[in-house]
Amino acid sequence: MKTPLASIQGYSIMLANEHYDWESHETQEIGKVLTERSNFMAKLIDDLSLTYRLESHAMTLQKENVDVAELLIKSIEAFQHDDRSIQLQIDSSVEKAYVDPKWFGRMIENLIDNALKHNDQDTNIWIRASMNGDDTFTVQVADNGQGMSQETLKRLFDRYYRGKSSQERSVGSGLGMTITKELVQHHGGSIDVSSELDAGTTVSLVLPVGPSIENK
């Protein structure tokens, strides 16, 4: 948190300097940096608040019977600005599930965001959904990117951990996977991650279908 705050303070001091006459293009560039840093701070505060509410069980899910395919498509559409391929594969047996649509979407978007941020432009991403034989369904977010070391894999759900790979260029709060795991568990599900360096990563979410489907 100190790094983006220091940037905001530093640029603010520069703008307040009475002895320098800023050109318009300079103030625009500084404005972009200030906006980027303040947006990062706002998201970090939101993530910290959400993490606290999840870990202290202070948040109640608003579950409803929703179409899984529609939720997955909506999550993919949030990344239309990225040129990389995101392919959706849904078994015909997957229909509706009893989940909180807002937070289900957040789980999927966190995983897609990670796959995009930590991989190169030629990386392909697949989202797969399938039914299991025990009244649960599985959603996988897989990529053929750089993969993770065993050290990173072991610490993946630690708060603020972002890995040590030189290729992990992204800026983030380091709370995405922690939040995703908590949301999965609040849905009564489980999360599993398999990864191999230079071979890609697959994150699997197993979630209960819910009472509406079970009673059919």
Using DSSP, state whether 167 is helix, strand or coil. Answer: coil
Using DSSP, state whether 26 is helix, strand or coil. Answer: helix
pLDDT digits (tens, 9 = 90+) for 125-139: 999 999 998 899 999
Helix, strand, coil in percent for the chain, rounding step 5: 45, 20, 35
What would the mean pLDDT of 185-214 be, rounded to a whole number? Answer: 89
**Average pLDDT score over the chain:** 87
What would the mean pLDDT of 60-88 be, rounded to a whole number? Answer: 94
Q: Both ends of the chain: CA-CA distance in Å?
A: 49
Distance (Å, rounded) from C-alpha 172 to C-alpha 168? Answer: 11
pTM over 0.85: no
The region of weakest confidence among 15-19, 65-69, 173-177, 185-189 is: 15-19
Cβ atoms within 10 A of the Cβ of 24, count? 7
Which of 115, 113, 165, 122 lies closest to 142 in space, CA to CA? 115
Proportion of the chain above pLDDT 70, given as a percent: 89
Return the pLDDT at 214.
Answer: 38
What would the mean pLDDT of 158-184 be, rounded to a whole number? Answer: 73
- Whether residue 171 is predicted with pLDDT greater than 50 in this model: the reply is yes
- Cβ proximity of 8 and 37 under 8 Å: yes
pLDDT digits (tens, 9 = 90+) for 96-146: 999 999 999 999 999 999 999 999 999 999 999 999 988 999 999 999 999
